[in-house]
């Protein structure tokens, strides 16, 4: 083996721990180089780009000033509030710090101020269901409801019912055949 090492074109070298810096040293070196690169790029940038960036920031802040929270958006001079506005009692009570602010508090501070939760309008499907329920007469006591959920012609359960009936018929046939075979073998003994 030593002969093979001597024939290699690369000169042997010794690995030492000094060749690899510790993690802390490499982190400090990379941080200092990042700071140095940042300082160089900041000093070399022109004043026009800085002015452009500051104007973009001020324009964005002006746009954000025009936005209002969702509960206080205005349409044609009317304030539109959420459905839950003043439906719950405020946890601060009459000493609420938000009462003095522009929008006021979203919660009620007395029973007179509290409003009931508004009912949502019915959808078309709900209205149709209500009309259908009103047209169907109520069942008389003791009468079996005519619900086709397990009928053979009902599209959802039809295949399931057919398979179940076939498996029950197969079980009955198998039980009858077993009895028949027992009788046959008992005669021959």
Sole residue written with tokens 């398979």: 163
How many other CB atoms sit within 10 Å of the CB of residue 73?
A: 12
**Confidence band of 154 (pLDDT split at 50, 70, 90):** low
pLDDT at 23: 52
Please indicate whether residue 125 or residue 55 has the higher confidence score (pLDDT): 125
pLDDT at 126: 78
pLDDT at 84: 78
Pick the closest to residue 162 from 150, 172, 152, 148 (CA basis). Answer: 152
pLDDT at 172: 84
**Residue 73 phi, psi (nearest 5):** -75, 150
Taking each continuous run of H as one helix and of E as one strand, the counts in the chain are 5, 2
How many other CB atoms sit within 10 Å of the CB of residue 85?
A: 18
- Cα-Cα-Cα-Cα torsion 180, 184, 187, 188, nearest 10 degrees, comes to -160
Please check the confidence at residue 164 and state whether its pLDDT lies above 70. Answer: yes
pTM: predicted TM-score of the whole model, two decimal places: 0.26
Pick the closest to residue 121 from 111, 108, 109, 130 (CA basis). Answer: 130
Q: What are the tens digits of pLDDT across the range 8-64?
A: 555 555 545 445 555 555 555 666 666 666 555 555 555 555 555 555 554 444 444
pLDDT at 61: 46
Pick the closest to residue 83 from 119, 114, 124, 126 (CA basis). Answer: 119
The DSSP result for 151-181, as a single string, is STT-TTTHHHHHHHHHHHHHHHHHHHHHHHH
């Amino acid at each position: 083996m030593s002969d093979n090492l001597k024939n290699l074109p690369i000169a042997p070298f010794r690995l030492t721990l000094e060749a690899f810096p510790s993690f802390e040293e490499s982190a400090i070196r990379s941080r200092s180089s990042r700071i140095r690169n940042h300082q160089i790029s900041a000093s070399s940038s022109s004043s026009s780009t800085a002015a452009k960036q500051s104007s973009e920031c001020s324009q964005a802040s002006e746009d954000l000033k025009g936005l209002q929270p969702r509960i206080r958006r205005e349409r044609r001079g009317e304030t539109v509030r959420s459905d839950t506005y003043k439906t719950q009692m405020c946890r601060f009570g009459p000493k609420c710090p938000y009462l003095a602010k522009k929008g006021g508090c979203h919660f009620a501070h007395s029973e007179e101020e509290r409003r009931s939760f508004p009912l949502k309008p019915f959808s078309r499907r709900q209205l149709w269901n209500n009309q259908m329920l009103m047209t169907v007469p109520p069942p008389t006591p003791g009468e079996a409801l005519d619900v086709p959920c397990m009928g053979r012609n009902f599209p959802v359960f039809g295949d399931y019912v057919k398979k179940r009936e076939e498996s029950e018929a197969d079980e009955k046939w198998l039980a009858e055949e077993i009895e028949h075979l027992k009788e046959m073998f008992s005669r021959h003994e």
